[in-house]
Amino acid sequence: MAKITIQKKTETNPYKELSLSLNIPDLEAKFPKQWDEPWRRFDPVKLIPSMITSAKNGFAGSLITGNSLSKSMKLASSAAWKSENEIFHKKVEKNSDAFSKMVLVNFFEDYLHKTQNPEDTWILRISASQGESEGATPVTTPAPSIEIKPSDKTKFTTNKLVIYCEENSNSTLNIIKQSAAFDLSAIYVYQEKNSNLKLRILDENLGDMSYGVSLVKSFQEKNSISDIGAYNTSEKNQKKVFVKNLLMENAVTRYSGIFTGKFSHVDHDFQIKHQENYAKSDVLFKMAVLDDAYGVFWGDTEIIPGTRGCEGYQKNKNVLLGVNARVDAIPRLRIQTEHVMAAHGSATGEISDEEIFYMMSRGLSYDEARKLLLRGFFEDVLRQSFGTDPDLGDAFLSRIWNNIQQILGTDIST
């Protein structure tokens, strides 16, 4: 006879202790009962004990630096922008209101906004490029980069970066982010009409166990294009990742991502909303989990009533490389209108013995066949994001490959 267990629902607000310990008790009343999530998803409440422990150990900001930024890019703290250009600062604040119309990440985002120091909030302004001046120092890397590092990895760390793309701007940017014991990070992207942004984000943690919440929010005006690649390479990490995108008329977003982990539990939550006509979105996300790692993909593409000509796609593939490794994939489409194109699909499994046998019959050894299959699993995602052959020597791409190989414990280079 099957055993049925009924778990009694608690009426205690899990944010109470955290709110009091961080000296912001009003948040308990603001979010009285918003911690419920479907059973297969990562519960952010699980992060609260580690969040409290890190908070008691003290707070620290992140070090945000820009390397080889192009002439059209300027990075400065929120306080610096306000003192230098009050009009632009008000423009950023006004447009940030667009994010309030989306599903918020409740407690964590509100806490970040309440506590963030203007000196620790950074804004990257990307204007329409007028070309580099003659005699300028040549850029030595394929794309400019921003590094986000905790000033003290043992303490509770917050960081907030706003990327503001002005009208008709066209740029490529790499972001390298390293984790602290607990970090609460947010990247906000605002694209004015006719802007084009290619953004690649590497979230790496190859050391001690870390915890955190990461937000990536994008708002795209008419005719804007974004191409975002996000890569989470974490040996030991407990994290909730929120990716949210709001698309206006004829806006296009392509998202490609990879998660590799050994003893990690990372939940990726995508929410893409087609707000106006002819908006298009395409998500390609892959996970490779080893040992006791647990990866979650939650896709939520929404096309609201009254829109026409929108397209929304989700594709998720996962490979299990450990006996205790686990993946949950929950793709979902919410189509509330006609005259649209949308599709989603997900597949999870181990490396196919039939594929290995076929490759061994062509002269490869078992290890060579396995390495080649693993490389092929990741390569299409990287090729889509970088738009080039993954072997062409891009420094940022090489760093991603090295991190993946360190997690896998094997060399899968060609």
- pLDDT for 274-332, tens place per residue? 999 999 999 999 999 998 899 999 999 999 999 999 999 999 999 999 889 999 998 99
Residue 219 gets the label, from left (phi > 0), alpha (psi -120 to 50) or beta, of beta
Q: What is the pLDDT of residue 140?
A: 42
Longest Cα separation, the chain: 80
**Bridge partners (DSSP) listed for residue 89:** none
Count other C-beta atoms under 10 Å from residue 111's C-beta: 21
Average pLDDT of the segment spanning 361-377 = 90
pLDDT of residue 1: 46
pTM of the model: 0.88
Whether residue 38 has pLDDT greater than 60: no
pLDDT exceeds 60 at position 390: no
Q: Is the pLDDT of residue 59 over 70?
A: yes
- pLDDT for position 101: 64
The beta-strand segments (E) located in 78-120 are: none
The string over 40-65, giving b where at least 16 C-beta atoms fall within 10 Å of a residue's C-beta and e elsewhere, is: eebebeebbebbbebbeeeebbbebe
* Rounded Cα gap, residues 123 and 219, in angstroms: 15
Q: Residue 133's pLDDT is what?
A: 43
Q: Is the pLDDT of residue 52 over 70?
A: yes
What pLDDT sits at residue 137? 44
**pLDDT exceeds 70 at position 93:** yes
Instruction: State yes or no: pLDDT of 110 exceeds 90.
Output: no
pLDDT tens figures, 234-250: 888 899 898 999 999 99
* Residue 304, burial from CB neighbour count under 10 angstroms (0-12, 13-18, 19+): middle
pLDDT in tens, 149-191: 998 888 888 899 999 999 999 999 999 999 888 988 999 999 9
Q: What pLDDT shows up at residue 134?
A: 42
Which pLDDT belongs to residue 304?
Answer: 93
Structure tokens at 396: 């940022």
28 pLDDT tier (thresholds 50, 70, 90) = low
